[in-house]
């Protein structure tokens, strides 16, 4: 590969995340004679199996991403609720001390 093709595999905007490149190579012989129809059918079945496998891999990968994102959203929501509760208690304490009448004896 020359440098122009390698540049296609580099993502400079995302340096912290791992990158996975997947591809398949099918090598076969041209069908001969009467078996041409059977070979074409078999090639179609093999192609369908390969595409099904690719879609299954994509579905698992995207499902893992969705689960990870969902977990982060839940944790962030709990954190926000804790901060909101702490701010509420702080404001109540501040307002209570602001309106208390101090007696001088």
9 lies in a domain?
A: no
> Domain of 47?
37-105
In angstroms, the Cα distances linking 88 to 76, 84, 94 are 18, 6, 10
How many domains does the chain contain in total? 1
Q: Are 28 and 40 in contact (CB under 8 A)?
A: no
Residue 67 has pLDDT above 90, yes or no: yes
For 30-48, the pLDDT digits (tens) are 556 656 666 666 777 778 8
Confidence of residue 1 (pLDDT cuts 50, 70, 90): very low
Q: Are 31 and 39 in contact (CB under 8 A)?
A: yes
15 lies in a domain?
A: no
Residue 104 has pLDDT above 50, yes or no: yes
Residue 22 has pLDDT above 50, yes or no: yes
| Nearest-angstrom CA–CA distance, 78 and 84 | 10
pTM > 0.75? no
91 lies in a domain?
A: yes
């Amino acid at each position: 590969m020359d440098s122009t093709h390698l540049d296609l595999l580099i993502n400079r905007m995302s340096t912290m995340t791992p990158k996975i490149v997947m591809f398949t190579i099918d090598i076969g012989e041209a069908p001969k004679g009467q078996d041409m129809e059977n070979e074409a059918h078999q090639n179609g079945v093999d192609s369908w199996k390969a595409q099904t496998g690719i879609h299954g891999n994509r579905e698992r990968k995207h499902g893992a991403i969705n689960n990870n994102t969902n977990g982060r959203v839940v944790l962030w929501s709990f954190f926000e609720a804790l901060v909101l509760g702490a701010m509420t208690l702080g404001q109540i304490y501040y307002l209570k001390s602001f309106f208390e009448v101090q007696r001088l004896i």
